A and B are shown apart, each in its own frame.
Chain A
Amino acid sequence: MGTSCQRTSPATWLLLAMGLMTGCNWFEYSPMAADVPLEHYNQQALARLAPPATDTTRFVLTGDTQRFFDEAEDFVKSVNQQRGVQFVVHAGDITDFGIAWEYQQMHHVLSKLHVPYLAVIGNHDLLANGPTIYQRLYGPLNFSFVYGGHKFIFLDTNGREYGFQRPVPDLNWLREELREDSAAFTDALVVAHVPPFNSDFDPRFAAEYPAVLAASGRVRLSMHGHQHSTLHYGPHNNDGVQYLLPGSVEERTYVVVTLWPSGTKVERIFF
């Protein structure tokens, strides 16, 4: 009686204890390890989207939450007071260092939003093990969905993070997504972190990107973060594309975008 317990060696107890503590977030094994579960938050958000009740779509556009946790908390409170918003679009740079702690803590803040949010990858999110972490937590780097007849295309445009050596943005994929028969949609909106007129966009594709959008003739908006600039809403260098940069959470501002069949409205909110 009780001998089996006495026979258990200290090494066994140690291994058992380590095994139990492994699931506990009191312990960190490496700040840069991709020690995160498989989640696919973007897919989960799509599953939670309420179906459109009218022909009007309204969403919030923000970006660059990075290390601004205090501001992000206030952003969530402000958005939760907006009426008729169906979802939130995050234009990238969820994190500052691309580490698991930031990804999980920022999601913890943003998951307090009353509506689902969808996020594209930013250059900071690609640092360290960020690519693996983003793909485990949020899903594919390029993805799209159709809501209320509008196709939302999320595209990785962080060319500099790949040393301008990879085909980023993937314009062939973008062309396919914009093809008329690719899915039922009346117009499209692109969400990408780095705008084509920024030096972190791969210069090989900087002229081709707006050309692809303009050629499709159906892109309402090309929405970006990265520049932390105050609101930019309009064309750029007459490249045939309508751009929208919402400013950043750090600047305590975001925009509410309303789409209806014959028009677009962009409203700037300060919080």
Chain B
Amino acid sequence: MRRCYHFVLLLLLIAGTTRAGLGQPTDSTRHRVGLHRLVPHHTKLQFAGSIGWVSASAGYGIWKRKVEADISAGYIPRWHNGNTRGLFTAAVKLTVWPWRLPLTARTTVYPISVGMWGSLTPGDNLELFWPDYYPSRYYWSPTGVRTGGFLGGRLERALGPTAKARSVAAYYEAGTNDQLATIWYFNRRTVSVGSILHLALGIQLRFR
């Protein structure tokens, strides 16, 4: 089971970064037909953000790229997990970019993003379903399942016609998760918003 999970993550990584198996797309794939419809539109490499020390994702831009859907594979090395063993996190992420402000001919600012994610992190004592030795509804959501939300922004630079990618962008996110948001909600007098927010930094490469 565990091995199988790692295999799926590996496939995701390959799909996101090399788009192997579908051939190198050319200009004709801009109007994607057939299997090429499945080729991701972009890939992201992210630092932190509660879905891995580092995570790689593949995703699609829909509705004139106002909405992005990503599926990501993240890794937390053992030295960030009490020197026990590394953790793998699979996440789906939805980001909305309502506005774009062209700065120059090639540079665009996306001042605000709003997004949410859901993640699965299996491991020792990290459950995707509660074991049956608990009475029903004994605890909250299983320990390996988390959801979260964030706000962010992005700076995008279009690349020249000879470049292999269409554009490259840097983005940031500041967000929290369901558990920390709950703690904050019930303790607004002593728990500050700042203390439950965490940052993510990433780069995005948009394919041709």
Chain A positions near chain B (C-beta within 8 angstroms): 18, 21-22, 26-36, 67-70, 73, 96-99, 101-102, 105, 109, 126-133, 136, 160, 163-164
Distance to closest chain B CB from A76 (angstroms):
10
Determine if B134 and A129 form an interchain contact, defined as CB atoms under 8 angstroms apart: no
- Using CB atoms, name the residue of chain B closest to A164: B133
What residues make up the interface of B, taking CB atoms closer than 8 Å to A? 47-54, 74, 76, 80-82, 84, 87, 89, 121, 123, 125-126, 131, 133-134, 139-140, 143-144, 146, 177, 179-180, 182-183, 186-187, 189-191, 195-196, 198-201
Task: Find out whether the CB atom of A69 lies under 8 angstroms from the CB atom of B191.
Answer: yes
Bound-complex Cα distance A83 to B133 (A): 44
Determine if A68 and B143 form an interchain contact, defined as CB atoms under 8 angstroms apart.
Answer: no
Is the CB–CB distance between B186 and A67 below 8 Å?
Answer: yes
Contact A129 B50 (CB under 8 A): no
The one of B125, B180, B186, B201 that contacts A31, using a Cβ cutoff of 8 Å: B180
CB neighbours (8 Å) of B126 from chain A are 32, 128-129
Given contacts A28-B198, A31-B50, A97-B179, contact A163 B76 (CB under 8 A): no
Q: Chain B contacts of A36 at CB under 8 A?
A: 82
Q: Return chain A residues, CB-CB under 8 Å to B143.
A: 32, 97-98, 127-128
Cβ-neighbour of A29 out of B53, B131, B146 (below 8 A): B53
Interchain nearest-CB distance for B52 vs A (Å): 6
Q: List 30 A-B contacts (CB under 8 A).
A: A21-B47, A29-B48, A29-B53, A29-B80, A30-B51, A30-B52, A30-B76, A31-B50, A31-B146, A31-B177, A31-B179, A33-B76, A33-B82, A34-B81, A34-B82, A35-B82, A69-B186, A69-B191, A70-B190, A96-B183, A97-B140, A101-B196, A127-B143, A129-B84, A130-B125, A132-B82, A132-B84, A133-B82, A163-B131, A163-B133
Select from chain B the residue with minimum beta-carbon distance to A131.
B125
Q: Which single residue of chain B is at the shortest CB-CB distance from A71?
A: B187
How far does the alpha carbon of A131 sit from the alpha carbon of B76 in the complex, in Å? 18
Closest A residue to B47 by CB, please name it: A18
Q: How many A-B residue pairs have C-beta atoms within 8 angstroms? Tell me.
A: 119
CB-CB nearest in chain A for B89:
A30
Residue of A22, A26, A34 touching B198 (CB-CB under 8 A): A26
Per the bound structure, the CA–CA distance linking A31 and B145 in Å amounts to 10
Closest approach, in angstroms, between the C-beta of B141 and any C-beta of chain A? 9
In the A-B complex, list the 9 residue pairs whose CB atoms are closest, starting with the nearest: A34-B82, A27-B48, A28-B198, A128-B143, A69-B187, A163-B133, A29-B53, A132-B82, A33-B81
* Residues in B neighbouring A98, C-beta threshold 8 A: 143
| Minimal beta-carbon separation of B38 from chain A (angstroms) | 29
**Contact assessment for B187 and A32 in the assembled complex, using a CB-CB cutoff below 8 Å:** no
CA distance A30 to B91 in the complex (A): 11
Contacts of A18 in B (CB 8 A): 47, 54
B33 → chain A, closest Cβ, in Å?
36
**Beta-carbon contact of A101 and B81 below 8 Å:** no
B84 in contact with A27 (CB, 8 Å): no
Q: Is the CB of A30 within 8 A of B87?
A: yes
Which chain A residues lie closer than 8 Å to B177 at the CB level?
31
